[in-house]
Amino acid sequence: MLIVGILALLAATPGVAGQNQIVAGEKAQDPDSKAVDAAITAIRASQPDKAITLVEPVIAHLDKDIAAEKRLVFCGPNMTEALVYATLGQSMKPKRDTLVLNDSGCMALWIKGFALNGQGKFAEAVAPLKRATELAPMHSQFFSELGFAYQQLKQPELSLAAYKSAETYAGFSEDEKFQRARALRGEGFAYVDLGKWDEAEKAYQDSLKDDPDSKVAKNELEFIKQNRPKD
């Protein structure tokens, strides 16, 4: 319902005014985008160090581009998000102009965080992942990866908050069901760590609505059944 409301507000916004600028679609021949694509290939080939090496210049380029930027800066992993971000400054007092970049910078940050998580460097992963969520504050995938880092750091409150955001914004994703199910499983894990067994059970059950074949959710529900305190 939140996303429906946001999109309704967007439809009612009379155009993109002032110094608002969307460059989210301008990436076909972008060298940074090519580096990101190569880094994703490296991740799939289980080469996290190579992936990080590939995206570091992209992150440096992002830092340079926005160092003196006075507008609100976002990146648009998809066009729906880009259009929403372009309007956010108009609801502020005083109004702020916005710049929406393509997804190269925030994807580079996510890749770095993902690679660090994969190496077990969870504390190091937090900073790039947090920054990715700041640049794309309605992108479910980034919040889930941040939630996982906090999960592994045994910080269930922070993990739960990140996964809640991932669930909230799953509707912006092309793979909405996958992202929502993943977020709900993360919430379930955090609730178990917090000793909130009923909430954990509901989160895992809700995740099965989007991913009914998830062995992880089914195994966790069995764990809850066997380990929750008896009345």
CATH architecture classification, 139-231: Alpha Horseshoe (1.25)
What is the DSSP secondary structure assignment for residue 91, as one 8-state letter?
Answer: G
Q: Do 24 and 101 form a contact (C-beta atoms < 8 A)?
A: yes
Number of other residues whose CB lies within 10 A of the CB of residue 45: 10
Quote the pLDDT of residue 129: 99
Look at residue 2 in the predicted model and tell me its pLDDT. Answer: 42
pLDDT the model gives residue 17: 40
Q: What is the pLDDT of residue 21?
A: 59
Please state, in angstroms and as integers, the Cα–Cα distance from residue 126 to each residue in 74, 146, 153, 217, following that order.
Answer: 19, 6, 10, 25
In order, the DSSP letters of 96-118 are --EEEE-THHHHHHHHHHHHHHH
The pTM for the full model equals: 0.88
Give the domain ranges of the chain. Answer: 18-125, 139-231
Task: Supply the pLDDT for residue 23.
Answer: 57
Give the pLDDT means over successive 10-residue stretches in the chain (231 positions): 42 45 57 96 98 98 94 91 90 90 96 98 99 97 99 99 98 96 99 98 98 98 94 68
Question: How many Cβ atoms sit within 10 Å of the Cβ of residue 152?
Answer: 15
Instruction: Give me the pLDDT at residue 11, please.
Output: 43
Task: Return the sign of the alpha-carbon dihedral for residues 126, 127, 128, 134.
Answer: positive
